[in-house]
Amino acid sequence: MAATQIIFAGFGGQGILFSGKFLANGALLEDRQVSWLPSYGPEMRGGTANCSVIISDMPIGSPIVADPDVVVVMNNPSFDKYEELLVPGGKAFIDSSLITRQAVRTDIEAYYIPATQIASDNGLDGLANMVIIGNLIRKTGVVSWDNAETLVRKIVPAKRPELIEYNLKALDLGYNWEN
């Protein structure tokens, strides 16, 4: 696989940066090249948050993603901004519990997942991001699903072991969601 350029975007607090970190660690586990670049500054405090992840088999030049292959959007402003940047044939993962419109472009693949609702229905408030990641892994294969559990165990802070189970459940719900 060549390079995959991904943008995660939403509100601060939705786990946007964590989602990117999760996939970046997945790529690292497979010994591939990876870069993770967050937005930083005042927008982190409740405004919009985004991060760019590049996963590649070749050394990565610029870590800045201008033309994403994949976008994960968790609020309306992010969808408005990143839908038009997607490359033709690119994939958009849309939290349809929070985003009220459909994709305008017809040359992209749009995946609608009511991730916030799914998380809430399953007692997994705050883990909508992981629901989407589960779905993204299934639809893109950008990292291996077989490593999901190893990854969760690696990234979830040791002080909060109860979160491992919740994260795995959220990933699983997303992976098995039929868009």
Residue numbers at the binding site for another protein (CB under 8 A): 21, 24-25, 28, 33-38, 40-42, 60-64, 66
Quote the CA–CA distance of 73 and 83 in Å, as a whole number.
9
**3-state class (DSSP) for residue 1:** coil
Kindly report the backbone phi and psi dihedral angles of residue 15, in degrees, each rounded to the nearest multiple of 5, phi listed first: 85, 25
Nearer Cβ to another protein (64/87): 64
Output the smallest distance, CB 24 to another protein, in A: 6
Nearer Cβ to another protein (62/150): 62
Output the smallest distance, CB 77 to another protein, in A: 19
Output the smallest distance, CB 153 to another protein, in A: 15
Nearer Cβ to another protein (10/20): 20
Output the smallest distance, CB 51 to another protein, in A: 9
**Burial class of residue 119 (count of CB atoms within 10 Å of its CB; 0-12, 13-18, 19+):** buried
Q: Which two tokens stand for residue 46?
A: 């409740």
Output the smallest distance, CB 60 to another protein, in A: 8
Nearer Cβ to another protein (38/77): 38
Kindly report the backbone phi and psi dihedral angles of residue 163, in degrees, each rounded to the nearest multiple of 5, phi listed first: -75, -20
DSSP string, 120-145: HHTT-TT-HHHHHHHHHHHHH-SS-G
Nearer Cβ to another protein (55/173): 55
